[in-house]
Amino acid sequence: MLPEKPFRFGVNLRSVHSGQAWAATCREAEQLGYDVVLVPDHLGGPAPFPALAAAAGATTRARLGTFVLNAAFWNPALLAREVATLDQISGGRFELGLGTGYVRDEFETAGLPWESPGARVDRLAAAVRDVDTRLRDPEHQPRPAQDPRPPLLLGGHGDRMLRLAAEHADVVAFTGATLADDAPSGTLRLVSAETLDDRVAHFRAAAGARAADVEANILVQQVIVTDDRRAVMDAARRDFGLDYLDTDQLLELPTLLVGTVEEIAGQVRAARERFGFSYVTVLEPSMRAMAPVVKMLAGT
């Protein structure tokens, strides 16, 4: 059993309507107690680096991260420049999250080839090694504020992604989901707690002694505060296409946090004990619902 790490909480933001509104949202996230303000990398959403540079100016404590960049969208030399610049602007608060990209429509819109999963992992692995080498090079300009580079988060679900994270990542992000074969491009299908057990075990076996040093993250898809967990999960099975899992299985998931504030806090503690998930990320629509839990568990 690995030693438990203290909790960290992140929120993935993507609602940019104006500079003033964006700054207010970032400040609110910090005031609610979130440790990390995150921005995803999807066409149709905000450009990550300008948004995070603005977030750096609006906040003082929160760390800032990409969750996660699509490696196919980025030239490694230019990415290293962006990372180092943002790390300097933020006073060493940046965390780099990278992934393979999973929405086929976005590749096609960007005029990029939609490659096999293996080829996309190959591309990501090459980018990780290239960016890491550049940022660690004392001659690289600009230099990041953090030495030797900002922390690296790698997110995924498959065997090769988890092995890549085991070799390189400071944070491993478990998606808790796979791509649905019979749904629109990019639609995710939640996996069971037993499947997550297997994914965590695969990562730990690959990481060996490094596993104790790597922070484990989980992306929470929804937070619902209610005094009747089972009724909400019964409705979710019916209304949101989750009938491939029974209600008891849904109640085990760390990717759906449902219950009273105390019950949700208990779920988060249980997920850390079972899976090692000490870094919990929620999506922007759940930011306020999760805030009392963040306050309750901060620093523990």
In the chain, domain spans = 8-221+261-297
| Spatial distance between the Cα atoms of 176 and 174, rounded to a whole number of angstroms | 6
Supply the mean pLDDT for the chain: 96
Q: Which CATH architecture has domain 8-221+261-297?
A: Alpha-Beta Barrel (3.20)
Q: Beta-carbon neighbour count of residue 45 at 10 Å? A: 14
Residue 18 backbone phi and psi in degrees, to 5: -160, 165
The SS3 assignment for 66 reads: strand
Q: What percent of the chain has pLDDT over 90?
A: 91
Cβ neighbors of 126 (< 8 A, separation 6 or more) are 76
Is 299 exposed, middle or buried, given 0-12, 13-18 or 19+ CB atoms closer than 10 A?
A: exposed
Identify the pLDDT of residue 184.
66
Beta bridge partners of 224: 258
Residues of the chain with pLDDT under 70: 182-186
What are the structure tokens assigned to 254, written together?
Answer: 């760390």
CB 20 within 8 A of CB 54: no
Q: Is the peptide bond before 142 cis (omega within 30 degrees of 0)?
A: yes
Beta bridge partners of 39: 66
Identify the pLDDT of residue 22.
98
| Spatial distance between the Cα atoms of 277 and 22, rounded to a whole number of angstroms | 29
HSE (CB half, 13 Å, CA atoms) of 115? 13
Tell which residue, 298, 297, 287, 292, has the closest CA to residue 37. Answer: 287
Beta bridge partners of 136: none
Identify the pLDDT of residue 297.
98
Residue 225 backbone phi and psi in degrees, to 5: -90, 120
Q: Beta-carbon neighbour count of residue 136 at 10 Å? A: 12
